[in-house]
Every structure is written in structure tokens, then in C-alpha cells.
Structure 1
Amino acid sequence: MATRLEATFGDNGDREHAVEASDALARALMAAVRGERGALPPARTKYAEMLVHIARVTRQIDLLTEWRELALVQADKLDADANRANLGVAADMSPSKLYRILEKHGRPKNRSPLTRSGIVENAITSEGGEWDPARVIETLESFGFETDEKGARALLRELHRENVLERKPGVGGRAIYRIPGSVREWLYVLDPKLDTVEGGPSTSARVAQLAGQDTGPEQWWLGRKLKDMRAGDRLWMYFAAPEGRIAAMARVSSEPYAAPAGAPKPYLVDATLDVKATAALVKNPVMLAAMANQHPQGCVGLGDADLALVLKHAGL
């Protein structure tokens, strides 16, 4: 005989039913839903019929096992900091089996000690590139962690304080970071009306001439201490007059340091003019009209658009 099983769902009052061809299986299902034991297989059943019962209950177990597996994964996502031992207890499952299920669904085995910060730090060191809040959110979501832009910005600042990341210069108020050690590009402004180089006018022609001399300038003035500037960076020389242009490049060989008392500006940095790049820029300078930064001042980070221009004009 067949048994009709009905259920009413409390969240919306919907009623659904299913028909179980075997009364014995129907009783077993009802007992299982109630958390009870005692429903026995039918004693008076032919061998072939018993095989059908076994196959049907096996299918039901497989479907519930699949549901439990997905529920374990979902629970692991819901509380990223929860002890996974609780999942094992709820599923009556050994840690090794639990980890195999979670890893199959992209949940790392070592999630317990892995914080949001750790996930992003691991991605930064393995993937590199530039990092902004959107990329942080995308990375965390791939591991089942959730955050918003505010949380992503806070995480980037934390990694910046720990020297895992550095703030990329030349991007205005945007929060863009990268791995420390990358070459930083600086737009270094010289005004021939105000600045001198080696005791003479800071014109592009004179700087180009000095670039080919062993006695060329090795120290360059800075109006403020740029804490992100270090050896290996490049200074792209912008000459404000008579016509705005980038027409020289120097390679930094020190961090900024205090200038002697009474100096024209408070800080100095060691840098050597690059002969080849400067010669190329003198012949083909980057004019102000082509630059994204239309108001160059002092020494600031060079933006990506202007960097692409100077590299092309310098033959690099």
C-alpha cells in the first residue's frame, strides 16, 4: 500500500505532500523526522521487494547527505571565526572527513587561524598587483567572507601599517596600494625662475648638459620629507618654464634626509641623472598639454597616465 506524507511549512503556511510507495519506508521516514528509532523493515517481504526498499532508502539517504554537505559549507561561511569542531559534532563527523568536504567546496583546511587580513595578505604576496577596496571585497568573497568598502579600507590601512602594502602615490584621494619595493615614480618640478641646479639655472638644456658630465648633480632639494621615497625610485624632471615639459629623469639612490642648516629647502635626496633617458626626453619631451596632471607642484607621485607617456618618450 502507499502512504501519503504531508507537511505544513511554518514560514509561509504552504502545504506539500509526497507519496511513499512503501508503508514501511513511510513509517521509517516519520520516525526519523521525529528523531525516533524503532521503525523496522517489514518482516513479510519478498527478497526482490526488499531490494527495492533498500534502493529507495539509499537514494533518500544520498539526497539528505548532499543537503547536509551543503549545509556544512554554508554554516562555515556564515561564521568565519567559529570553531569548526562544532560542525564536526553537529554532523557526527571526524575532522578529516569534514575538511575533505569543505575543501571540495573551496573552503581552505587552515581557515581556523586564517583571518580576513591573512586571506588578503596571502593573496597579495602570491598575486601582487595593485589593491583597492573592490579587489579586497572580491578576494574575501571567494573564500566565503563578507565585508563592505569601509571594512576593506580598514583592512588595507592595517596591512599598510604592517608594511605588507604601501600607498601608491599619484592617485589623489583614491585608496590604492601595492607591494613595497616597487619602483616609485615621482614628478619633480623645477622652476628656472626660482630653483638652481649646481649653482646655475634649472633649465632643461643645462640639466641635459650636466647629465653627460661626471660632475653632474648628485643631490636634489625637497620641500618636504617624502617618507615613501627610497633608493631605486625615479624622478621625472618637469621644467615649468619657458614652456612646461618633462625633459629629464634621475634615479634615486637614497631616502630623503635633512639638509644642512640655512639650506634653500629642508630636505635633500641623492639621485643621478640618467643620460640615455634624459637625452631621449630632451629630443622628445612630454609637454604639459599632454599630461593628466595639469598643475604640477613640488614633488608628487606620477600618475599612471603620465607614467605611460614618459616611459614611451624616454624609450623605456
Structure 2
Amino acid sequence: MVARLEATYGDDGEREHAVENSDALARALVAAVRGERGAQPSAEAKSVELLRDIARTSRLIQHLEEWRELVIVQADELDADASRVNLGVAAGMSPSKLYRILEKHGRPKNRTSLTRLEIVESAITAERGEWDPARVIETLETHGFVTDDKGARSLLRDLNRDKALERKPGVGGRAIYRVPGASRSWLYVLDPKLDTVEGGPSTSARVSKLAGEDTAPGHWWLGRKLKEMRPGDRLWMYFAAPERKIAAMAEVSSEPYPAPAGSGKPYLVNATLHAKATEALRKNPVRLEAMANQHPQGCVRLADADLALVLKHAGL
């Protein structure tokens, strides 16, 4: 069966029509325009017909979603002072999804005109990662800038010169740039049944005692090279037994480096126990039941919710 859909536009009565090869889909389209629910596929439809309707419906949804994005952007541009809450409600979107669409079309979250330097720095900070020139090109193009690899490298050098980014050697000779001074917090798991510290057991009581001594450990084992770890970061020590808790903190003073041949783990990082924070955590540890990460393993980035907790318990 073939259904003919007609539409009349405006006061001048302009008319247009489209042919739809599925009566069921045509009825569903009309019901959707009317805001009605309950349209059903034909009970007598064959499998091949249902597959055809699914494919056509998917293409239709894709076209409408693209059109909706353009309408959202236009509405945001026309009234820059309007609340985006109303825009999100009309679109049926969460704020995060709405902001992603607006930023995709060059509408920044804070609605202010950003310089290229501010855009790149903001994007890097949001990713919490390190960017190579190719990714910076992608970032700039997402925000409406036209550039090439040469232009991106020039921009990165300027940002490095202005201290907005810092440069370090990357894989294959490619430079990696990152925001300087922004420290990271890592959850560093110690299992007293398996790990040792300075030749002795890695219990919270012993680590706490070492924190106040001149012989405190100066390096810590890593099972893998964490490229984002750098001086100024913090290691929050999680003890897996006998009580599962965060009860010590160390400050990183080097990037990870290869361990000597024959070592138990492949990498080391230099870090010094923070006596004051460790003592505070010994008295008031952050226990597993209060943590967002309920399955600590290895050395991973500390969850934001857990960071707020450890800073409070450590008195920092």
C-alpha cells in the first residue's frame, strides 16, 4: 500500500506532499505530529516490511535530530540572555547533553567570547588528559576554527611560551602538551599480605610510623607507566587489610620511570609521605564503605567524590 501525506504551509496555502510506502509508518507520522500515542505496526506485516519500516524510521529520526540541533542553536543565538533551563526542558535534554550540542556548534557553556588560548586550555582541563597536535586541531575545529597541523603546532608553541601549557616528549617523538601546575590525586592500593615497604609489612600502622621518620620510603612501585602522573601529584594510600581504608598520603616528586631489571614491578615513582596528612588520616581514615570506588585496584585516579572526603579527613 502507498500512503500520500500532504501538508499546507502558511497563510498563502503553499502545499506539499510526500509518498510513504508503509501505511503503518504513515499513520505513526501523523499521530506523532498530532502528539498522539498508541500507533501500532501492522499485525499482518512480514519481516521484510518491518525491517524496511525500521530503516526508514531510523533515517527519519536522524534527520529530525539534526534539524532539532540547528533549532536549538538558533534559539540560543537569538536570545543569549534567556535561561537555558527552558531550552533544555523544551528539548527534553539534560544540561550536560544540551551543553555538548551547543559547544559542538560553537556556543560555549558560559556564552562568553573565548580566545583560542582559553578554548584549548579549557578543553584540556575538562579532559584531564594530555593533548597532541592532532587532538588540538579537532578541538579547535569543534569550536569553529579552521586550522591545520602546522597551525596547531604554532599555537601549541605559543601556549607553551605563555606558560598556559607545558611541553614534554611524547611517544614516537611527538610532543605532548598539558596544563601546568594542576596536580592529580591517585588512589594507591597497598595489600599488606602481598606488598612490602622498605623491606617490612605495608600496614597502615607501619606506614604512619615511617611518615614521621627520616628513613621514610622515597619511591613506590607501579604496575604500569602512568603517563599523566607528574611531580606535585598525590598518592592516597589505600590499605586492603586488615581494615580497608585510606590512611596515608604521599606527595609525588618525579614522573614514573623504569624499575631496575629483575624488580617485582616494572616502574617506580618517587614520592614522600606527608607527615601531617598521614597522621590526620591515621586518626580519621576514609573507610571503604564511605568511598565511591568500591573496588580499589592498583593505582588509579581518585574519584572526585573520594577526593573531597580524603581532603577533609587529612585536614587539607
| TM-score for both structures, normalised by structure 2 | 0.49
| TM-score for both structures, normalised by structure 1 | 0.49
For the pair shown, the structure with the greater C-alpha radius of gyration is 1
